Amino acid sequence: MSFETERNYALIVNPSAGGGRALKVLAEAERELDARRMVFRVERTRSPEHGIDIALGALDAREIPVVMSGDGLLGAVGGAMAGSNSPLGLIPAGRGNDLARALGIPTDPAEAVRCLDEGNVRSIDVGEANGRRFLGIASFGFDSDANRIANEAKLFKGTMVYAYAALRALAGWKPARFSLVEHGVQKRFSGYTVAIANNAYYGGGMKVAPDADLSDGKLDVVVISEIGKLRFLMNLPKVFKGTHVDDDVVETWKTSSIEVKASRPFTIYADGDPLTELPARLRVLPSALEMIVPGDGS
């Protein structure tokens, strides 16, 4: 559906997003916003919590919040806005920009502004783990180690950081035991990763859950069982096309809620940031968030 033509925007900018790329994106976006005579103000964030406060204040002022950052701030703000029936805009400025990829929002700042000006509103699902909300993919196990390494990395930019992190994590990885419970039925296995996906992508374009749909009212569960490290490494490139799910050590299914735990402590990461610790209960909040996405002509 389309939305009202009279609207003011509150740009919520994370200055450190994308290794500082956000400030360059901001300058380009401002030029396009001015050229289109769009009414906006800019707020720089100090933390995800500060970004949430700005967004909620914008809603009170009848402004449309627009996140200019990566998936981390977007997940925090989007989770806080879930259920508000107010649209959220996005100008991608992070390293991965995986939700933008799934929604078809351009990474070019001028085109992203065009999407804000001419786009439509789409209802998407929101995930929740131990009461903490996320928009993309909540995962743990091998992914916990890889995400931590990626967030600590200083020498790599863009999607290269994710490849580096995966190789570093693989070197020291030891399989863990996982337990998944749905409707009282328990599934136990040894392996690498459990991913609970609202979105198809993570890690800058890895299509880990190729059948995930942001608007189907379900979360996609992807589990990777025990496998030799060399075979795991050889299969990594398949994740970018989503063909890894054809491997016999990968299992996928859809759920509305699931309980998870493991044989050793793991942090659940989502949208690139730490979300909560195991054990955890995850569920989907169907059609909980309105996002501005490209229209038919955008």
Please identify every residue annotated as catalytic.
273
What six digits make up the tokens of 68?
Answer: 């200019």
Distance CA 195, CA 127 (A): 12
- Decide if 162 contacts 146 (C-beta within 8 A): yes
Query: What angle, rounded to 10 degrees, do the helices at 48-60 and 71-81 form?
Result: 40
Rounded to whole angstroms, the Cα distance separating 22 from 82 reads: 24
Query: Bridge-partner residues for 282, per DSSP?
Result: 129, 258
Which letter, b or e, does each residue of 124-149 get, where b requires 16 or more Cβ atoms within 10 Å of its Cβ? bbbbbbeebbbbbbbbbbbbbbbbbb
User: Can you tell me the distance from the alpha carbon of 202 to that of 97, in angstroms, rounded to the nearest whole number?
Assistant: 8
